[in-house]
Amino acid sequence: PRFNRILLTGAAGSLGVVLRRGLAPFAKTLRVSDKDDVGPAAGNEETVACDLADKGAVHQLVKDVDAIVHFGAISVEARFEPILQANIVGVFNVYEAARKHGVKRVVFASSNHVTGFYKQTERIDVDSPMRPDGLYGVSKCFGENLSRFYYDRYGIETVCLRIGSSFPAVRDRRMLATYLSYDDLIELVRCALFVPGVGHMVIFGASDNAVSWWDNTKAAKLGFKPRDSSEPQRARVEGEQPPPAPTDPMVVYQGGAFVRAGPFDE
């Protein structure tokens, strides 16, 4: 394995479970962490319980780590306070700890909701201005900007993955464009960890779907070549679900239903 120890945050989550399997071969030790129970350590794993909002705990968590795959977060639209703690204070704690402990590479789970207010008729690339579709999206904008700063100021490299929809299968018509298979997710994280000299990069995380709103040309350096596609699932999804009304956010905005989530009672 290339790395001595990789830290995976969010290890109890849906993608965390997938990445525990996918990242295991890449490091001598895979440190898996979440605030929730991650279960017993398997294979080359070591487990550490940690709330990302707890600065002292995060500094312990990052000690002796070569690279961080940061997936721990509130992963949908929610009230501001939990998003603030997990996604904003949390990502700051991770980068400060990375700086103190000399970690050189971070893979950050950003989201397509950083640009969710673009229309599905628009094609955007990684330099298109951010148009977050909620507080969750705003928190991911913060993570992307924070990582940019930590690269410019301290030379810590980050690849921001604007993940589309990574689930076991396509769930609705929108996901025909945003689907990222689990195998392609693992390959994307592998590229983000191993390609030398990435500096600071942003890439949209989607499989090789027939319909796409995202142009990854500027992220070509990463060499990410998705192998799956949502297309084989199109007939099933279209058969199961009637087309939404043309004004439904699910077919108007790239972020789909996220654009109308909230407001919550704060």
Q: Tokens at residue 151, please? A: 């690269």
Q: Assess contact for 192 and 141: CB atoms under 8 A.
A: no
Binding segment toward ligand NAI, per CB under 6 A, in 159-167, 207-215, 230-238, 254-262: 159-167
Q: Assess contact for 151 and 204: CB atoms under 8 A.
A: no
Q: CA-CA distance, 198 to 256, in Å (whole number)?
A: 31
Give the shortest CB-15-to-ligand NAI separation in angstroms: 3
Nearer to ligand 15L, 125 or 172 (CB): 172
Q: Assess contact for 62 and 5: CB atoms under 8 A.
A: no
Q: Assess contact for 2 and 26: CB atoms under 8 A.
A: yes
156 binds ligand NAI (CB under 6 A): no
Look at residue 72 and give its three-state secondary structure.
coil
86 binds ligand NAI (CB under 6 A): yes
Q: Tokens at residue 45, please? A: 């794993």
Q: CA-CA distance, 231 to 211, in Å (whole number)?
A: 9
Nearer to ligand 15L, 33 or 111 (CB): 111
19 binds ligand NAI (CB under 6 A): no
Interaction site with ligand 15L (CB under 6 A): 75-76, 111-113, 165, 178
Nearer to ligand NAI, 60 or 85 (CB): 85
Residue entry with tokens 């009230």: 79
* Candidates 95, 136, 179, 253; catalytic one: 136
Give the shortest CB-76-to-ligand NAI separation in angstroms: 7
Binding segment toward ligand NAI, per CB under 6 A, in 9-17, 22-30, 239-247, 250-258: 9-17
Burial of 190 (0-12, 13-18, 19+ CB in 10 A): middle
Nearer to ligand NAI, 1 or 74 (CB): 74
31 binds ligand NAI (CB under 6 A): no
DSSP letters spanning 130-198: P--SSHHHHHHHHHHHHHHHHHHHH--EEEEEEE-B-SSS--SSTHHHHB--HHHHHHHHHHHHHSTT-
H or E element in which residue 101 lies: helix 90-101
Give the shortest CB-19-to-ligand NAI separation in angstroms: 9
Chain positions 163 to 222 lying near ligand NAI, rule: CB under 6 A, are: 163, 165-166
16 binds ligand NAI (CB under 6 A): yes
61 binds ligand NAI (CB under 6 A): no
User: Known catalytic residue: 182?
Assistant: no
Binding segment toward ligand NAI, per CB under 6 A, in 46-54, 127-135, 214-222, 237-245: 46-54
Give the shortest CB-230-to-ligand NAI separation in angstroms: 13
Q: Which residues of this chain interact with ligand NAI, rule CB under 6 A?
A: 10, 12-16, 34-36, 51-53, 71-75, 85-86, 90, 109, 111, 163, 165-166
Residues with a catalytic annotation lie at: 136
